Each structure stands twice: as C-alpha cells, then as structure tokens.
Structure 1
Amino acid sequence: MSTKQSAVIGTARLGKRTKDLTKRLALGDIAIIDHEDIDRVAAEALVERRPAAVLNVSASTSGRYPNAGPRILVDAGIVLVDTLGDEVFEGVRDGQTITVSGGQVLCEDAVIAEGTAQDDATIMVSQQIAREGLSEQLELFAQNTMEYMLRERDLLLDGIGAPEVRTTIDGRPVLIVVRGYHYKEDLATLRPFLRENRPVIIGVDGGADAVIDAGFRPDMIIGDMDSVSDRALRSGAELVVHAYRDGRAPGAERLEDLGLGDQVVLFPASGTSEDIAMLLADEKGASVIVAVGTHGTLEEFLDKGRAGMSSTFLTRLRIGSKLVDAKGVSRLYRQRISTFQLVLLALAGLAALAVALWATPGGQAFVQIIGARLDGLLSWFTLLFSPRATGS
C-alpha cells in the first residue's frame, strides 16, 4: 500500500491467531492480527477471504528471513499496515467500523494507532535486509537439528514411543494432507491416485477439513486439534492427539467437550504434527507415504519457525525414499485438453472410421446392413406410438 492511496473503511475483526481469524472474515472486513513474519499459507488464507485491509500489531517481516506473506497481500490489492503496537487490540472492538488512512488507524475520527504502510518499495527493502540474515538462520537450524536429534533419537531411529492405533496401515499406501502450500490444487490432481489405490488418508489438523471438502473421508486425524472443525472430528476418523513430551495434551480437552474423549489416542513427541504423522505411518508399515501441503523447502522450514525446522528435516531423512512429496504436482501437470475438445476428437475419429469402411466393398456391405437394421428399428418405434384402428 502506498500512503497516497485513499482511505479504507470497514468492519474490524480481531484475532491474534491468523488461522482462527480467517474463519470469521467476510469480504471487505479489516483484519487485525498479531503475526510476526506473515508466512505464505497465512497470507493465502487471508487473500481467499478478501479483506479490505490487514492491520498487523507486529512486523510483517522481522528480518529473520525473506517471507512471502507481505508480497502476496500487497499484490492482491489488500492494504497492509504493520508494527501498530498492542494499542490496536485495546482501542478497537470486534465489529466496530474503523478507517485506515495511510499508516493511521482511525475510529470515529480519532487516531487509535499508527504504523508502517507497506507497498512495493518498502517490501523490496525489507526482503533485501532479510536475505542478508539467512546465514544466521542456517546456523540456528544446524543447532536445533542436533538438539532435536538427541532428544528424539529413540523415536527417529527405532520408532519407540509411537502409539498403537486401530487403523490398519501395514502394507498400504498412506496419504498425509496438511493445509499448507497448494494443498487444494494438489489434492484435486491426486483424485485418480485416491480412486485407484484407496490409501489410508491422514488429515493433519485442518488438513482433515481439506480432505472432506475434496469429497473424501479421513481415516485418521493427527494434531493438537486447534484448527480442525467439529464436523471433521465427528466424521468417524481415528483421533490421535499430538501431546507435549511431558504428556500434556490441550487438544484432548476439546475432544472431551465434544464427547469424543474415549476415542483419543495420545502421541507425546516434540516436533510438528505433520512430522509425527509421517513417523507414525512409517512405523506402522506404510508401503509409501504421499504428502500433500507439507513443508520441504528452506522458505517453508523458516515459515514454520526455528522450533519446527529441524524436526521436519530429520523426519524426511528418517523416512527416506518411502516419502513422495506431491506438493506442486498440480503445477507440473495441468490438463490442457477440454472436454469439448475430447468430444470433437471422438467424433472426428468416428467419421474417419466410417469413411474408411465405406471405401471397401466389405465396409459398404456392413454399412448397408447397419442402415437396414436402423431403418427397421425406426419403423418399429414409429408403429409403437402410431394410433391403432379400433373395431366398430
């Protein structure tokens, strides 16, 4: 956004957790978040809801790494103002009408807070500064990798700690769906694989909703249960709650409230929920693990934060060739022939076949026989519906 742009007026929607707030956003709302380093997934979720503006209490790019979120928001035409400070949450009520003008947030003509209005130029500068700090992040990554490997060596090397589950995985392909990068497109592209192979489908938190939205049913849901809907939790899938290493499992409380507490399986482990989903599938004998929406690149590791980087890296090393990353398959393969074109192609083939048959004596005789049959069938059909004479 440029400070020269006109003011934006809309309904304020407040939420410190971006993924929770996006569920309540409507077209033209003004989203107020507290999200340092807005990542690609969060930005795409915001863009999908089409708010008029995004106001960020924190820095949208802290300089830790060149995150893609601010660029995605600005390119979508959404006003972005950051570093507003906590006074925004104190001075604005959810549902209140506010105005954003330049870097200022106004309520009833009074300035509530003032921050930095982001545009192409400011984002380019912050991204350049962030790239210069990548070496430090790589050092931290190496340090965290060693710490995680020592802490979880039993699970990584021997599978010790993986719980018993009722879902039969041994010898079957497994599809793990995370609501991450390009998950919708890739899941749609994998429909033939799902129909032909009937894999065990594991939804990681909100990935279970993605599975249901795509017309399938998850066999298992793994996660801390904070971003999955009640609909998905009640779908009949086996529920595996990702617990802390000390056994605490806040997600189990929600399942208790829903009356699903007797179905809970606890999996205490550090790392991320997508990591333990992969480790569980591998330990239970999956023949192949197909991952949709998971994290695999340096940018994606950094989007997850330092705490989650090392676990994902080591998990992928642990699984090895069994893991097939489906991310981006929708961009690699795109159907370029429309249904109408296929119909025309089929008709052209039939016409060519008819011409070839007519060019031979045998083909001419065959066509004449078919024509006589069709003529007889048409006559019978006509007589069937013609009026019949009645006796006097």
Structure 2
Amino acid sequence: MRLPGRTREESTDTGRLTGTARLDRRTKRLCGRLRPGEIAVINHVDVDRVAADALVACKPAAVVNAVPSISGRYPNLGPEVLLKAGIPLIDGVGEDVFDALKDGQKIEIEDNRVLVRGEEIATGVAQTLEQVSADMDTARAGLSVQMEAFAANTMEYLKRERELLLDGVGVPDVETDFSGRHCLIVIRGYNYKDDIDVLRPYIREFRPVLVGVDGGSDALLEAGYTPDMIVGDMDSVSDDALRCGAEVVVHAYADGRAPAMERMEKLGVPAVTFPAAATSEDIAMLLADEKGASLIVAVGTHVTLVEFLDKGRGGMASTFLTRLRVGGKLVDAKGVSRLYRQNVSVSAMLLLITSAIAAMTAAVAVSTVGRSFVEIFADWWDGLIFQIQRLFS
C-alpha cells in the first residue's frame, strides 16, 4: 500500500534499526505491552494524537504501520507527533506483514524496508516531517466532507439514543454516591498528566468522586489517587487498577454484549454493564449527571472540532451531544496546566523562610520560657568556648 501522493522511491532513508517486533491491530492494546527499544507494528489508518502520544510514551525504536497513517480524509495529528519525538514511521507496508511476522521476533528496518534475517518481507514509505506537513495541507482541503459526515452521524446517533440522552433511560444503578458532589473524570488524553498535577489543590479541597475511563484509572493511580469508579470497555486498563477497589462499570454494546465481563469474572471483580452506542467517556459523563453530580470536571477529553475528527470515527457524534446534555455542569480542565502553574520563586521561598525565623526569634525573645532557654544556651556556649580555649592553652 502507498500513501496518497507518495512513491517508494521518494521515501527518506531511516538508516538501519534492529529490534523486537510487537504486533497488534489495535494500537491502544499494543501500548500496554510495548517496551522501550522495541518496534511497534500497527494497523491504524489516520493515526490520531492520543494514539501517537501513547506510542511516544512507550519509546519504541520505530513504528511500522500496515496502512496509511494519513489517508487524506482529514488532518490527523498523530504522524507529526511521532516524527517530532524522533521515532521513525514506516507507512503502508501492507496488512500481510501480520502474517509474515511473529510477535517477539527480531526484525530490522533498513530505509523503508522491513527485514527478517536479511530477507525483505515488507516495503513501505518512510515518512518525513516535510511530507507529513504537505499531506496535512491536502487533507485540510477535504475537511468539509468530513464535517458533513460528522453532522449526519450526529443526527443518526440522536435518533438512536434519544431516550438515553434526554431521559437517562438505560443508566445502571451504582453504589458510588454522586449526589451533590463534584465528579472528576479522567481520560488518558491530551495533556492529562499536567492537568492532574495542577488540579491537586482542587482535589484536596473538594474531594470529588474520581472516575477513571479505561486507562484514565491507571493515570489516577500513577498520580497517587485511587479511583472511586472505573468506566470503559476495559481494553486499556491494568489488572492492578481493576483490583484497586473501585466500582467497575463495563461499557457494553448497544445490544447488551459485553466482552469485558469475561475478564472481570477471571479477576473476580464485580461489575455492572452500561449498554450504549456512545463512547466510554460519554457514558461516564452521562452516569455522573444522571446520578446527581453537582459539577463534572473532565481531564483529557475532546473539545475542538479537529480533536473530534482526529478520533476518526462516527462515534464522536455522541461526545458532541453528550456535552450538550450535561450542559452547565461540565467544566473542561483541558489545557489548564498551560493557563496556570503553581510555581514558587526562589525569592518567595527565601522570604518565607526568613519570616519564619523572625517569627520564632520574636516568640523566644518575649516569652519567659524563651528567655530561660536563651540563658541556658548562652551558658552552654560559654562553657564550650572555655573548653576549646583550654585545649589550645
């Protein structure tokens, strides 16, 4: 397979890389077991920024994509993120690569070729920042078509899920008490780590219900918090997170099928299902709203039109409508780390220390106990000086 407007001869050399191949057709699932220095082999059309950020965090030696990372449908952000992180990206090697390779096998990347023991098994296109920029410009020209499709998907979803959106029909009963409380929903999306750090004072003061959406529960644990509830299809959450004691709500298909329940049974973790055609982050918001949360603070969710389209699926229409549904309750913490940082300057710290010392000195000077202590200390100091003088006399 070839990227639009590219030929194999136009590829840029990546040099020669050797590493262990990790294969998975689902990028999110692959990131759960990808280790630094390994080569990620994925099958991801229009790599979005969230997927790229997850890959970058794993520090692979290279990424090999069976299909185009930029199809031209819309300007997706993932390829640029990978290349700016210094990770070579080989595109369009063909889906046969999943038959030709085995997970854990040693492979080599030379220029735009995938080799096993020196034998070429797949050839693609080595992406460059210049070509990605050109492809993104081309993709922007077709953005209007994607907007029309997005609008159509939105209307279709509204017709299909109007009872859930308008009346809360289908929301399961849960033990976690949301009534009158703030709720913090964490999705492992854009800038989630920085935003959680900035929100620490808010979490300490208001003690909101902590809800992790799939991998967002691991993000809360990494930040030192224990989620009260975990919501999602459980394809990117660790066993440790599921066993942390949080209430688990499994996102099921609209027809009631919930493949993740088998995993819950194996782990011995009780769970309830929430059948809906919406995304997992959407049902977390709908659940919190329906159960009486007074405020919903979201970290890592999608806000802009480009971010909606960057997910590359019609299901993002549910996110748009869900935000209309929860209305004024929703506060998006996205990017708050860039707006406000709690930096303490050196001068402020020195002033604080000096003030503390001055206050202690004043307290000692005016109190009877303090004066007695000063006299005792003065006598001890005089005795010490006397002993030192005797040693040298």
Q: What TM-score, normalized to structure 1? A: 0.89
Partners of 1:240 and 1:265 within 8 A in 2: yes
Aligned-CA RMSD value: 2.7
- In the other structure, the counterpart of 1:277 is 284
**C-alpha separation in 1, matches of 2:240 and 2:367:** 61
Q: CA deviation at 1:219?
A: 0.9
Percent identity between matched residues is 57
Which of 233, 246, 249 matches 1:240?
A: 249
C-alpha change, 1:384 and 1:249, in structure 2 (3 Å) is farther
**C-alpha separation in 1, matches of 2:298 and 2:240:** 23
Using the TM superposition, name which of 49-58 and 88-97 deviates more.
88-97
Give the total of aligned pairs. Answer: 375
Q: CA deviation at 1:352?
A: 8.4
Structure 2 portions without partners, runs of 5+: 1-9, 385-393
* SS state at 2:109 partner: strand
Which of 85, 93, 102 matches 2:111?
A: 102
Which of 315, 323, 328 matches 2:330?
A: 323
Instruction: Name segments (4+ residues, structure 1) moved above 3 Å.
Output: 347-355, 366-374, 379-385
**C-alpha separation in 2, matches of 1:176 and 1:377:** 58
Which of 53, 56, 59 matches 1:44?
A: 53
- In the other structure, the counterpart of 2:166 is 157
- In the other structure, the counterpart of 2:237 is 228
Give the AA of the match of 2:232: G
C-alpha change, 1:381 and 1:23, in structure 2 (3 Å) is farther
* SS state at 1:55 partner: strand
Equivalent runs, 1:235-314 vs 2, <5 Å = 235-260=244-269, 263-314=270-321
Partners of 2:187 and 2:299 within 8 A in 1: yes
C-alpha change, 1:375 and 1:211, in structure 2 (3 Å) is same
- In the other structure, the counterpart of 2:387 is none
Which of 57, 68, 92 matches 2:77?
A: 68
**C-alpha separation in 2, matches of 1:384 and 1:32:** 76
Q: CA deviation at 1:336?
A: 3.2
1:344 aligns with 2:350: yes
| Residues 46-91 of structure 1, C-alpha deviations (whole Å, 9 max, x = no match) | 1112111100001101111111110111111111001000222122
Which of 71, 93, 97 matches 1:88?
A: 97
- In the other structure, the counterpart of 2:341 is 334
Partners of 1:175 and 1:201 within 8 A in 2: yes
Partners of 1:87 and 1:112 within 8 A in 2: no
1:17 aligns with 2:23: no
Partners of 2:11 and 2:125 within 8 A in 1: no
Using the TM superposition, name which of 303-312 and 139-148 deviates more.
303-312
Q: CA deviation at 1:284?
A: 0.8
Give the AA of the match of 1:56: N
Partners of 2:172 and 2:273 within 8 A in 1: yes
* SS state at 1:240 partner: strand
Give the AA of the match of 2:348: L
Q: CA deviation at 1:335?
A: 2.9
Q: CA deviation at 1:231?
A: 0.9
* SS state at 2:75 partner: coil
Structure 1 portions without partners, runs of 5+: 358-362, 386-392
C-alpha change, 1:368 and 1:174, in structure 2 (3 Å) is closer
* SS state at 2:315 partner: helix
Partners of 1:9 and 1:99 within 8 A in 2: yes
